[in-house]
Amino acid sequence: MKTIALPRFIDEAVLISTQDKKSVPFAIRRVFIIRNIKSKAIRGKHAHKKTKQALFCIQGSMKVKLSDGKKTVVHRLTKPNVGIFINQMTWSEMYDFSRDAIVLVFASDVYKNRDYIRDYQAFLRKAR
Ligand code: TYD
């Protein structure tokens, strides 16, 4: 499991930035935000065949569970500039969202439904 710390610039505000593979270890081709998340929601529950992602909880907090098919780790995200790298072929689940949670995800590829593995048993078969 690899965390990613984005540089913060603090004056009377806090500015968080990333560019050109300096902190996020891939070229960013897609960005998406998830908000208005029910605290009981479990999101994700899939893996990507090729796409790599960097996940940040830029407001509030959440947990993310990651598995490569052998090892499972749980990480709590509480800082807007400290996220987690989700490699390809990693099963991910996001849960325990605070009411105000806002999730920001950088992805290495455009959205392709065919890049998703949504069945856990199929993921395990492919990962092993
Ligand atoms: P989904 O990947 O299931 O969200 P999560 O990973 O949070 O569980 O996506 C939810 C919906 O949004 C689904 O209909 C596909 C669509 N979507 C896009 O069109 N583009 C995107 O970049 C993403 C991530 C999702």
Distance 52 CA to ligand 1 centre (A): 15
Instruction: Give residue ranges with CB within 6 A of ligand 1.
Output: 30, 32, 34, 43-44, 111
36-69 in b/e burial notation, b at 16+ Cβ within 10 A?
A: ebeeeeebbebbbeebbbbbbbbebebebbbbbb
**Tell me: the pLDDT tens digits for 5-36?**
999 999 999 999 999 888 999 999 999 999 99
Write down the catalytic residue from 45, 46, 63, 79.
46
How many other CB atoms are found less than 10 A from the CB of residue 9? 9
Active site residue 48: no
- Partners of residue 32 on adjacent β-strands: 105
pTM score over 0.85: yes
Name the residue type at position 39.
S
Distance 92 CA to ligand 1 centre (A): 13
How many other CB atoms are found less than 10 A from the CB of residue 123? 21
Distance 9 CA to ligand 1 centre (A): 31
**Tell me: the pLDDT tens digits for 44-101?**
999 999 999 999 999 999 999 999 999 999 999 999 999 999 999 999 999 999 999 9
Q: Which atom of ligand 1 is nearest to the CA of 111?
A: 22
Can you give the C-alpha Rg of the chain in angstroms? 15
- Ligand 1, atom 1, residue with closest C-alpha: 44
- Cα distance between residue 11 and residue 123, in whole Å: 45
Name the residue type at position 40.
K
The residue with tokens 């796409």 is 51
Tokens matching residue 63: 């947990």
Sign (positive/negative) of CA torsion 74, 69, 81, 111? negative
